[in-house]
Structure 1
Amino acid sequence: MTDASILVVDDDAGIRTVVSQALRREGHRVSTAATLAQLRAELAVAVPDVLVTDVVLPDGDGLESAAALQAEHPDLPIIVLSAQNTLTTAVRANEAGAFEYLPKPFDLDALALAVRGALARRSSAPVETGEAIDATLPLIGRSPAMQDVYRIIARVVSSDLTVLISGESGTGKELVARALHDLGPRRAAPFIALNMAAIPRELIEAELFGHERGAFTGAAQRVAGKFEQAAGGTLFLDEIGDMPMEAQTRLLRVLQSGEFTTVGGARTIRSDVRIVAATNRDLAALVQAGGFREDLFYRLNVVPVALPALRERRQDVALLARHFLNRAAEEGLPRRSLGPEAIASLEAHDWPGNVRELENLMRRCAVLGRDDRIGAEELRAAIGEGGRAIAVAEAPDAIDAAVRAFLRRLANDTPQALDDGTLYDRVIAEVERPLIEAMLERHGNNQLRAARALGINRNTLRKRLDLLAIEPGAVRAPGR
């Protein structure tokens, strides 16, 4: 639709000029306004085909005005521009009925595309407005990659569509799941999270669907599963790629029919939950390898949300670091700040543990630092101290060093032990600790995965942890 009328509202004259020129090149007629008062005056004369408006205007809030305009002119598509490029702004824009939300600085081609889309859908039904949301930010970041995430969340937050969140460990997948719950219509109901990798395979179905008394050995009473516990709310299935195939079959059946039965039960229970799943694995590749059901993958992947690694949004690092330092201070830790060189060091780091690693580093600096301001040298030292206990690539060298050091000690202290027939068992006992710690570290302290990598069952691993007095949570893992 060419020769459409576009009204651009922004108090920045430069933005009004640039946007007007770009839209006129598209063949549209453009008028402008700098305030809400001028906007109302323009609307009194004629309603445009599309309204493009800033949020913060000299005489009021553009989003509040957008909500009122949607009620008065339900066919008017509104495109919101904002320098307050947070998740809250994206959701508010969606709730106000905006057709599109573009964070500043925006790409003119993206704006032109949004205008074309708005014109094409000009007769579509308006989005219902919702109640105001809390201004607390569940996610932080102003990078383009995070803005894409915000826009997806804003569009699906009010629906019950199933969402599949993918991303490396420590990128904030549970935060996205909680944002979908806390900002959506199910916010008053429970948010229940279940980590598939942390549950023994034989217990996953009972955890999900509950069990009846006597359903299996040790089932002394009826226990509600996570589907029942989350009734009316959101069920977050973390590490969905580690779900056993038999449990995948039952989950698929629930997603298809909306009904389930407890383990050992006969009564059909209606499921009333929103499913949000997350994985740090490539589920499509897992499907090809036969490790994940293809039909379940498509059931879960209705709305995909791909979270960027922190190294892919370095411009957010300083913002996040300051946020974590402020949070640490609010919790009673010393208040500290970052110098320019420290920020440069943070932005240069690759962050294998992503946001979680950054948060832990800032807490460590808050506790251990001596000065009010964190310097680059102190920061580099803290990164080194908080690095991986035994890097996976270094694990063989670490074990080799442990064996050689042990043999030297034996030769010096008890040389007879080298020939008494116990050497093999002694060496195995000596290297077992660094080996187990290396595998726990590699798999993010996940005992089930570490046990699989070692070729032992989980119960055996637990016994070895107890015997060796290893506390899994104390093993430093990437992003933990």
Structure 2
Amino acid sequence: MAAGNILIADDDTAIRTVLSQALSRAGYDVRTTGNAATLWRWVQSGEGDLVITDVVMPDENAFELLPKMKKIRPDLPIIVMSAQNTFMTAIKASERGAYDYLPKPFDLRELVSIVGRAMSEPKNRVRAAPDAELDGMPLVGRSPAMQEIYRALARLMQTDLTIMISGESGTGKELVARALHDYGKRKKGPFVAINMAAIPRDLIESELFGHEKGAFTGAAQRSAGRFEQAEGGTLFLDEIGDMPMEAQTRLLRVLQQGEYTTVGGRTPIKTNVRIIAATNKDLGGQIRQGLFREDLFFRLNVVPLRLPPLRERLEDIADLAQHFFVLAAAEGLPLKRIEPEALERLRRYRWPGNIRELENLTRRLAALYPQESITAQLVDMELNVDAPELASGYSAAPAAGNARSPEPEKYQTLAGAMERHLSELFHAHGANLPPPGLYHRILREIEYPVISAALAATRGNQIKAAELLGLNRNTLRKKVRDLDIRWMRTPR
């Protein structure tokens, strides 16, 4: 007996064939079509227990059809696929009631797993239609790493779950927090941000919770805190790792009981605020050092969201650079275009300042140079690659997609460079050594690109990748899981 009936709509014959074969092997009855009109007719007549549809089809866009299908059959799970894999595509799919969204190319096993999960869930997942058309694109990038972020955000928009965003400085943590607010159910409320590292430690409690007149010297009148300002909306706590222990205790009470008291006040105040926290620190290490409360960490880390550094999403650099050039032009600077050789320079750079550094670079290039085309020479000048202390910002490895195994004679050079870099790091800190855990952090930084490159070279074949690396297959599988390394397969 078949596990259910699935309707597939995609104008690509190869995609239809691959999906039909995979789902048929999984025990489902499958019907396929290359147009939206046939899909709509099937859904109207009551056919299908689940729909898989592409967004762009010859006769109609799935985003226009999806609300009509949900209106007549609100319990019908619909999985949306798209090669237009942007942040807004994921959000539109979620807003229009899709069960899930998959960017192309997708992992076939993941899709079959999603179908199984959708078919086994109670048929009561009704989503509200959007109350306004979604415009603009607050996040840019089509890399697999960003696709995972988009899908996570689409699922989190209409919830009030507390989220912990981690990532290096300049990766866009506040931008993600604003997207969660601006496209979520609290978008009509205020978005209030506070940076813990930018406020004197003795003033953080007053900034967060407000104070009463006379609460301390200089408190000439009552002042509202950020919780009060964010009522009904979202409070973004940036650099949460810099919050002093006393304020952590008070924040924990808010998260546990949903109320707070002002500094100098006695009456508890109920609060209705969504909390999004962010950090570029290793909070686990801070907990071990007694600098961060473990119970507060678990309250904040309900949904962890890690933003990848720019060096892990080099394929996004072209889109990001173009995006920043357009923004600069909107502010009155000349519109620039970047030459392929210059783009290659950008892809080889390590980007210690991440997206913020790239944005600053594009603004400088737009403001300082009259020529319309940005050349490799201009990029070299602005990145100061002739300066010995900065030339190491360039990676000797070729860009993603052109990776080759390093020649054996280069291993010793690489090891020597790493040894010199670490020696300089320790000497630079002197008596104030880096925080504990440096070994594991550096090991992760090395393992992630090495394993990713091996998987890329073997097209995701873990047996061959393990042989290439000289690892046991089970060891490699564990490292892939622990490091959260994803390999996107292209269906054949």
Shorter-chain TM band? 0.7 to 0.9
The correspondence of residues 420-459 of structure 1 with structure 2, limited to 5 A, is none
Equivalent-residue separation in structure 1 for 2:348 and 2:121 (angstroms): 44
Give deviations 1:354-383, integer Å, cap 9, x for gaps: 000000011111112242111112111111
CA-CA distance at 1:44 after TM superposition: 4.2
> 1:35, 1:59 within 8 Å by CA — same for their partners in 2?
yes
Alignment partner, residue 120 of structure 1: 120
The correspondence of residues 316-331 of structure 1 with structure 2, limited to 5 A, is 316-331=316-331
The correspondence of residues 123-272 of structure 1 with structure 2, limited to 5 A, is 123-272=123-272
- 1:298 maps to a residue whose letter is F
Equivalent-residue separation in structure 1 for 2:185 and 2:109 (angstroms): 34
**Which is further off, 291-300 or 38-47?**
38-47
Give deviations 1:264-288, integer Å, cap 9, x for gaps: 1122211121111000012122222
Alignment partner, residue 27 of structure 2: 27
Equivalent-residue separation in structure 2 for 1:145 and 1:206 (angstroms): 38
Change in 2 beyond 3 A, CA 1:386/1:122? farther
Alignment partner, residue 401 of structure 1: none
- 1:48 maps to a residue whose letter is G
Give deviations 1:55-109, integer Å, cap 9, x for gaps: 1122222123222212211221111001121111111111222111001111111
Alignment partner, residue 78 of structure 1: 78
Over 4 Å off, 4+ runs:
385-393
> 1:76, 1:122 within 8 Å by CA — same for their partners in 2?
no
Give deviations 1:154-182, integer Å, cap 9, x for gaps: 11111111111000000000000100111
1:98 equivalenced with 2:98 (yes/no) = yes
- 2:300 maps to a residue whose letter is L
Change in 2 beyond 3 A, CA 1:148/1:231? same
CA-CA distance at 1:145 after TM superposition: 0.8
Alignment partner, residue 36 of structure 1: 36
Partner SS state of residue 327, structure 1 = helix
Equivalent-residue separation in structure 1 for 2:225 and 2:129 (angstroms): 34
Equivalent-residue separation in structure 1 for 2:10 and 2:392 (angstroms): 53
Equivalent-residue separation in structure 1 for 2:388 and 2:232 (angstroms): 41
> 1:77, 1:122 within 8 Å by CA — same for their partners in 2?
no
Alignment partner, residue 332 of structure 1: 332
CA-CA distance at 1:124 after TM superposition: 3.7
Alignment partner, residue 440 of structure 2: none
- 2:356 maps to a residue whose letter is R
The correspondence of residues 44-55 of structure 1 with structure 2, limited to 5 A, is 44-55=44-55
Equivalent-residue separation in structure 1 for 2:301 and 2:167 (angstroms): 14
Equivalent-residue separation in structure 1 for 2:95 and 2:112 (angstroms): 23
CA-CA distance at 1:37 after TM superposition: 0.8
Equivalent-residue separation in structure 2 for 1:390 and 1:5 (angstroms): 59
Change in 2 beyond 3 A, CA 1:35/1:286? same
CA-CA distance at 1:390 after TM superposition: 9.3
Give deviations 1:451-479, integer Å, cap 9, x for gaps: x99xxxxxxxxxxxxxxxxxxxxxxxxxx
> 2:191, 2:234 within 8 Å by CA — same for their partners in 1?
yes
Equivalent-residue separation in structure 1 for 2:8 and 2:390 (angstroms): 57
Give deviations 1:324-377, integer Å, cap 9, x for gaps: 011111111111101111111111111111000000011111112242111112
- 1:76 maps to a residue whose letter is L
Alignment partner, residue 367 of structure 2: 367
Change in 2 beyond 3 A, CA 1:285/1:133? farther
RMSD across aligned C-alpha pairs, in angstroms?
A: 2.5
Equivalent-residue separation in structure 2 for 1:388 and 1:228 (angstroms): 51
> 2:36, 2:57 within 8 Å by CA — same for their partners in 1?
yes
CA-CA distance at 1:19 after TM superposition: 1.7
Alignment partner, residue 454 of structure 2: none
> 2:81, 2:101 within 8 Å by CA — same for their partners in 1?
yes
Alignment partner, residue 60 of structure 1: 60
> 1:3, 1:29 within 8 Å by CA — same for their partners in 2?
yes
Partner SS state of residue 165, structure 1 = strand
Q: Larger radius of gyration, structure 1 or 2? A: 1
Partner SS state of residue 56, structure 1 = coil
Change in 2 beyond 3 A, CA 1:373/1:23? same
TM superposition score normalised by structure 1? 0.79
Residue-pair matches, total: 399
Change in 2 beyond 3 A, CA 1:270/1:378? same
Equivalent-residue separation in structure 2 for 1:82 and 1:358 (angstroms): 28
CA-CA distance at 1:188 after TM superposition: 1.9
Alignment partner, residue 464 of structure 1: none
> 1:133, 1:183 within 8 Å by CA — same for their partners in 2?
no
Q: Which runs of 5+ in 1 are unaligned?
A: 394-441, 444-451, 454-480
1:278 equivalenced with 2:290 (yes/no) = no
**Which is further off, 167-176 or 378-387?**
378-387
Change in 2 beyond 3 A, CA 1:188/1:107? same
CA-CA distance at 1:315 after TM superposition: 0.7
Identity across matched positions, percent: 56
Alignment partner, residue 343 of structure 1: 343
CA-CA distance at 1:385 after TM superposition: 7.6
Partner SS state of residue 224, structure 2 = coil
